[in-house]
Amino acid sequence: RFRAKASKAKQAQSRIKMLAKMQPVATIINDPIPPIDLPSPDRLLNPPIVRFDEVSLGYEDEKPVLRNLNLRIDHDDRIGILGRNGEGKSTFAKGLLGLLEPQKGFIKRHKKLRIGYFAQHEIDALNMEHSAYDHVCALMPEATEAQRRARLARFGLGLAQSETKARDLSGGEKARLLFSLIGFHKPHLLVLDEPTNHLDIDSRAELAKSLNAYEGAVLLITHDRALLESVVDRLWVVENGDIRTYDGTMDEYRREQLERLRGQKRTAKRDTLPGKQEGRKHRAARRQALAPLKNRVKNLESEIEQTRAAITRLDESLSDPALFSEDRDKAIALSRQRAGLAGRLEALEESWYKAVEDYESAQE
């Protein structure tokens, strides 16, 4: 993804070398990564499906976070939401969903509109004492057991995961369960707030594939640039209390943000030009400051490699058909151990992404 960019090259090559040294993690039956199946609505609605007329959004009696919004979403829109943290992206989503009433103006939704909403707090709201199968039973009370299990299997939740309590599922498995639930009623609009946080690289690719096959409207709030570039065809920027259409590319937006930050730094340092000695001290201090960030990237790469190796060893044990017939308790224990390691791997990969971003930001 970053191989062609000079500012990313060193980290990209490090990642490539790390992946080259690793053996791929085998699944028990060597199947491909299971799909994330997001069914399209049976019928598309006449546009617009949502319209904002002079809408201001905020909390209680506080100053509005977003002001005088005039926006529309049509049945086939693919919109990516950009903006720094704290600018109001989640506030906009809450207003769109009806979780936050406008302080001013009107939000008009099509009377037949169904919305599927994915966010971290929705994952946290799952009943942690219920299994994935229990959650689907509540949605499909008249269905047969086979139909319910088939529903879960379409999201990569097999027999072991479907019988596991939600609190014991990995982050990625909880995310897949939520995708299964929000897609059940075939929504006309998907509002996805950081949907890839708990997904591994392969699952992120499956999500992008599913969203591209989905025929309803999609609104993506995410820092996952690869997902944005592969799914959306319009960009909105949340900034200074407003949401505006951005006509440039992701590269252009990133360059604008970097140039703005550099301008702020130049302004702050305008009257403090260091001499040669101060310059050397400054460079030494900078190297010292970068060292912990660089070491964290390397340490995480090592942990990722070790965790993947442990998963591979477990998969080799679990691939023995005799294990399940001769020692079922051991098979279940190993399956749970693997699920725990899979969750740890997801967390480590997410930490690696963040560590690389921190290291790159410190270099710029």
Instruction: Cite the DSSP H helix spans in the chain.
Output: 6-21, 89-97, 120-124, 132-139, 145-153, 159-162, 171-182, 201-213, 225-231, 250-269, 276-318, 321-326, 328-363
Q: Is residue 332's pLDDT more than 70?
A: yes
Q: How far is CA 272 from CA 8, 260, 266, 285, 291, in A?
A: 30, 20, 10, 17, 25
CA proximity to 118, closest of 136, 82, 93, 99: 93
H or E stretch at 236: strand 234-239
pLDDT grade for 337, boundaries at 50, 70 and 90:
confident
The span from the CA of 36 to the CA of 209, in Å, is 8
Tell me the CATH number for domain 50-255: 3.40.50.300
- What 242-250 contacts at long range (C-beta under 8 Å, 24+ apart), as own/partner pairs, is 242/66, 242/67, 242/68, 242/69, 243/66, 243/69, 243/71, 243/81, 243/88, 243/92, 246/82, 250/225
Give the mean pLDDT of 29-57.
Answer: 85
Separation of alpha carbons 194 and 221, rounded Å = 6
Q: What is the 3-state secondary structure (H, E, C) of 207-232?
A: HHHHHHHCCCEEEEECCCHHHHHHHC
User: Cα(115)–Cα(93) distance, rounded to whole angstroms?
Assistant: 11
Residue 142 confidence (pLDDT) above 80: yes
* The pair of three-digit structure tokens given for residue 107, joined into one six-digit string: 């939000």
pLDDT of the residue at 197: 83
pLDDT at 26 over 60: no
The whole-number pLDDT of residue 220 equals 96
Q: For 92-122, how does the pLDDT look when each residue is reduced to its tens digit (9 = 90+)?
A: 999 999 999 999 999 999 999 999 999 988 8
Mean pLDDT of the 6-16 span: 48
Residue where the block lists tokens 């299997």: 153
With left for phi above 0 and alpha for psi between -120 and 50, is residue 129 left, alpha or beta? alpha
Is pTM beyond 0.85 here? Answer: no
Characterize the bridge pairing of strands 189-193 and 217-221: parallel
pLDDT for res 189: 98
Q: What pLDDT is recorded for position 264?
A: 57
pLDDT score recorded for residue 31: 46
The better pLDDT of the pair 272, 61 is held by 61
More confident residue, 180 or 9: 180
83: left (phi over 0), alpha (psi -120 to 50) or beta: left
pLDDT for 288 equals: 77
- Listed in order, strand segments (DSSP E) in 25-111 are 50-57, 66-73, 78-82, 104-109
Q: Tell whether the model's pLDDT for residue 205 goes beyond 70.
A: yes
Determine the average pLDDT of the residues in 139-167: 87
Pick left, alpha or beta for residue 98 (phi over 0 → left; psi -120 to 50 → alpha; otherwise beta).
left
